Amino acid sequence: MSLCQLVRKNIRTFAAKRMKQFMWVAMSTMILFFMISLQFNEVVVEELGITLLFQMCFYTLFLIFIFICTFTTYKITFSLLQVRKEEIKSYVAENRNALCLLCQEQLFIYGVAFVFGLINGMLFLKLFTIIFMKIAGIQGINSAPITIYAIVVVSIIMIVIVLLSMMQCFRFVQSLQDKNSFHFKEKA
């Protein structure tokens, strides 16, 4: 069985756990895209006025949301790795293969979830903008342009989160290898 086939099989086997991860990444991508698009929507900025308080609140909320995304993604990946500990231990003889398998799974899930979240973010941007304007009490805004800047910023943030997740997989496989080598030394 090739590595790619094994990745697909593992994703199907752990579909329930992976679905939680998929939905979290897709929702995070969608919300980040909305936040960035709203922040740089010229019509919204003109209506609200560029106030220091609005800017500070937005950036504080944005940083808190990025921290929550990173932390939650870490916890979801950690719980998935703990469930799969015994399976991954069987691959530890081939440390590189286990790491490659986990990284490919992460890339596939995060990649599909990112694209899904970005497309949904673009589709629902106007609706979210109208809802936000109603809440803020601003009338007459009909434009919600999709900016390349928002796409690039969300992409960079999600790439960093994916890299952190892959680093977590690397540390997990490394810790399993260290434990196995310790047990082999004990037996010797």
pLDDT of residue 157: 92
pLDDT of residue 21: 86
Is 113 part of any domain?
Answer: yes
pLDDT of residue 141: 65
Is 71 part of any domain?
Answer: yes
Report yes or no: 109 and 166 within 8 Å, Cβ to Cβ.
no
pLDDT of residue 119: 92
Is 6 part of any domain?
Answer: no
Q: Is this model's pTM higher than 0.75 or not?
A: yes
Is 148 part of any domain?
Answer: yes
Separation between Cα atoms, residue 143 and residue 125, nearest integer Å: 10
Is 186 part of any domain?
Answer: no
Spans of the chain, pLDDT less than 70: 1-3, 44-45, 47-54, 91-94, 140-143, 178-188
pLDDT of residue 182: 52
Is 138 part of any domain?
Answer: yes
Separation between Cα atoms, residue 149 and residue 135, nearest integer Å: 25
Report yes or no: 165 and 99 within 8 Å, Cβ to Cβ.
no
pLDDT of residue 88: 74
Domain total of the chain:
1
Is 84 part of any domain?
Answer: no
Burial level of 39, CB count in 10 A (0-12/13-18/19+)? middle
Counting DSSP H helices and E strands in the chain, the numbers are 7, 0
Look up the domain containing 64 and give its range: 22-44+59-79+96-178
Is 66 part of any domain?
Answer: yes
